[in-house]
């Protein structure tokens, strides 16, 4: 018969690891972590590129310098992670049009203000009326390339300027880019080391962590959960903590038997999946301006979101000659579906618009595919502005013996690394409470008998 565990944690991203750590520290010794891919980290993922380490997933520790301390910033400080401050605010003064002219800062500032006003108006319209079409047709909608570019940055890239974002309110407005050869994922390995058997080189040897275990079925009842994996293994547990992304929950990768109740399915459907793609380009030498206030620049094109937001990596890794361009949603899906050579050609076209025909071709490119990765299906969750708290409450509420965690279950910090980290802790604490109650009931029954 299959082995039975107290708790099985599904997924070894930051939320799964933080959840498992809390359980282990509270005496749950017979736990098992099942991870579909061949590594821990999930959406925190480094890659060697052009001689340095780049972050294909989460790159920033967002929310630093405020009243409260961001727990992920504390982890980073504790392990000496190398970071550098990012200041996007200058980007609006480095806006290029298609002929390579930089918009005078006055125009850029005007467009910026107009985009912010239009965004605020949109929010008000949505509050007044659930019908989004009225908001989009409102007269202040962005139209010119520069307005479109700024609107894209506010909504698809930054999001922070139009509503108070709890990350900045609680933890402060500064953001630090992780620029460490060990990668952002070093924080996860440090956490794992504290409760899993690890080799001197930091490799996890503990047999409570199983990689390449793709969970395909959760059969659940009042008495526990039977977990089936793609390779035909069967595990049993009193409880499961499910940390897979919102995109995976929306897909059919995992079959629930019986199916999830209607309220849970509705919450899962209501939450949007954002796709966010950082394309890295390596060049033989620099041809872009660098120095103070030049780290971020914008390309204004009549097609919204077309290679709009750029960053050079000179601050993070001097002499690396690397540029990063961020695409989102439909543009992300479009480039994921085409060969990288095509994407490289498009990016070079855009760079030649900005910097002239004589610049050298990129010698290497990475196009991460978060949308097509069946263990991710997107980059992070985004609750519609008009959705109420109930959606998040339903998202994180357990279904019988299945407890839900992950960044998408974080009430205040969904979409962020610290959201995933804190969600894992919160979910495990809730489960420990449940186990305590269960034990008390058992004891009472025992005494009555
Ligand atoms: P995940 O990391 O997705 O962990 C879930 C795990 O479950 C994965 O390891 C997955 O392989 C596994 N899994 C999936 N299906 C199965 C299955 N069937 N069986 C077993 N295992 C399974 N956040 C920030 O704070 N700052 C940033 O700058 C930032 N930038 C980002 C940029 C990008 C491109 C992306 C993709 C994300 C970014 N984020 C950022 C968000 C941040 O990365 C996530 O919020 C966080 O890492 C999510 O952690 P998680 O544990 O909830 O999910």
Cα dist. 438→268, 282, 445 in Å? Answer: 28, 57, 11
Give the ranges where 251-291 is alpha helix by DSSP (H).
262-270
pLDDT less than 50: residues of the chain:
132-137, 160-162
Q: Is the ipTM of this complex over 0.85?
A: yes
Angle at CA of residue 321, ends 307 and 90, nearest 5°: 55
Mutate to test the pocket of ligand 1, among 43, 218, 256, 417 (most ligand atoms within 8 A of CB): 43
* pLDDT tens digits for range 289-314: 998 899 999 999 999 999 999 999 99
Pocket lined around ligand 1, Cβ cut-off 6 Å? 10-16, 34-37, 42-44, 57-60, 62, 214-215, 243-245, 248, 253-254, 276, 278, 370, 375-376, 379-380, 406-407, 415-417, 419-420
Look at ligand 1, atom 30, and give the residue with the nearest C-alpha: 58
Note the pLDDT of residue 140. Answer: 67
Note the pLDDT of residue 288. Answer: 97
Q: What DSSP string runs through 63-126?
A: EESSSSPPHHHHHHHHTT--EEEE-GGGGGGSEE-TTSPBPPHHHHHHHHHHHHHHHHHHHHHH
* pLDDT tens digits for range 34-59: 999 999 999 999 999 999 999 999 99
Cα 180 → chain centroid: 19
Q: 58: CA distance to ligand 1 center in Å?
A: 8
Atom from ligand 1 closest to the CA of residue 40 = 9
Note the pLDDT of residue 289. Answer: 95
Q: 11: CA distance to ligand 1 center in Å?
A: 9
Spatial CA neighbour of 106 closest among 157, 151, 146, 148: 146
Residue located via tokens 């949308």: 371
Residue located via tokens 């050609």: 345
Note the pLDDT of residue 158. Answer: 66
Spatial CA neighbour of 331 closest among 371, 384, 375: 371
Mutate to test the pocket of ligand 1, among 42, 62, 216, 276 (most ligand atoms within 8 A of CB): 42
Q: 417: CA distance to ligand 1 center in Å?
A: 8
Structure tokens that stand for 304 in this block: 């919204």
Look at ligand 1, atom 27, and give the residue with the nearest C-alpha: 58
Atom from ligand 1 closest to the CA of residue 424 = 51
Mutate to test the pocket of ligand 1, among 57, 159, 215 (most ligand atoms within 8 A of CB): 57
Note the pLDDT of residue 116. Answer: 75
Note the pLDDT of residue 109. Answer: 78
What three-state secondary structure class fits 241? strand
Cα dist. 232→6, 83, 206 in Å? Answer: 21, 43, 22
* Rounded-to-integer distance, Cα 339 and Cα 425, Å: 40
Q: 406: CA distance to ligand 1 center in Å?
A: 8
Atom from ligand 1 closest to the CA of residue 418 = 25
Q: 185: CA distance to ligand 1 center in Å?
A: 11
Half-sphere exposure of 224 (CA within 13 A, CB side): 12
Note the pLDDT of residue 139. Answer: 53
Note the pLDDT of residue 161. Answer: 43
Would the pTM count as exceeding 0.90? yes
Note the pLDDT of residue 142. Answer: 79
* Rounded-to-integer distance, Cα 443 and Cα 423, Å: 30
Cα dist. 439→3, 77, 345, 435, 436 in Å? Answer: 21, 39, 63, 6, 5
* Rounded-to-integer distance, Cα 72 and Cα 62, Å: 9
- The answer to whether 269 and 332 are in contact (CB under 8 A) is no
* Rounded-to-integer distance, Cα 72 and Cα 70, Å: 5
């Amino acid at each position: 018969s299959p082995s039975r565990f107290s708790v099985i944690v599904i997924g070894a991203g930051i939320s799964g690891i933080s959840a498992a750590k809390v359980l282990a520290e509270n005496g749950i010794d017979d736990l098992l972590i099942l991870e579909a891919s061949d590594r821990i980290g999930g959406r925190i993922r480094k890659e060697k590129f052009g001689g340095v380490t780049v972050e294909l997933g989460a790159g920033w520790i967002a929310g630093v310098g405020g009243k409260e301390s961001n727990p992920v910033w504390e982890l980073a400080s504790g392990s000496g992670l190398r970071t550098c401050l990012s200041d996007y605010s200058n980007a609006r003064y480095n806006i290029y049009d298609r002929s390579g002219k930089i918009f005078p800062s006055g125009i850029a500032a005007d467009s910026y203000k107009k985009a912010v006003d239009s965004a605020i108006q949109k929010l008000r319209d949505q509050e007044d009326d659930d019908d989004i079409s009225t908001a989009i047709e409102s007269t202040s909608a962005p139209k010119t390339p520069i307005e479109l570019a700024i609107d894209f940055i506010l909504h698809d890239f930054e999001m922070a300027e139009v509503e108070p974002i709890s990350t900045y309110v609680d933890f402060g407005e500064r953001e630090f880019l992780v620029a460490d050869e060990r990668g952002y994922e070093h924080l996860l390995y440090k956490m794992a080391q504290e409760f899993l058997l690890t080799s001197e080189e930091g490799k996890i040897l503990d047999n409570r962590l199983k990689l390449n275990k793709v969970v395909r079925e959760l059969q659940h009842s009042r008495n526990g959960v039977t977990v089936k994996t793609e390779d035909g293994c069967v595990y049993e547990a009193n409880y499961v903590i499910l940390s897979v992304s919102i995109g995976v929950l929306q897909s059919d990768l995992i079959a629930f038997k019986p199916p999830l109740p209607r309220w849970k399915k509705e919450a899962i459907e209501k939450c949007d999946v954002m796709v966010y793609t950082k394309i890295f380009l390596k060049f033989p030498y620099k041809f872009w301006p660098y120095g103070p206030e030049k780290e971020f620049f914008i390309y204004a094109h009549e097609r919204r979101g077309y290679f709009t937001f750029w960053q050079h990596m000179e601050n993070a890794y001097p002499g690396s000659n690397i540029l990063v361009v961020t695409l989102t949603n439909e543009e992300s899906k479009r480039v994921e579906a085409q060969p990288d050579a095509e994407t490289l050609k498009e990016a070079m076209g855009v760079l030649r618009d900005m910097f002239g025909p004589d610049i050298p071709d990129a010698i290497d490119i990475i196009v991460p595919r978060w949308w097509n990765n069946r263990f991710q299906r997107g980059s992070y969750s985004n609750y519609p502005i008009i959705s109420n708290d109930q959606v998040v409450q339903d998202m994180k509420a357990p279904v019988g013996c299945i407890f839900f965690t992950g960044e998408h279950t974080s009430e205040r910090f969904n979409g962020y690394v610290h959201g995933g980290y804190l969600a894992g802790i919160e979910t495990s604490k809730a489960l420990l409470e449940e186990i305590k109650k269960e034990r008390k009931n058992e004891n009472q029954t025992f005494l009555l008998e």
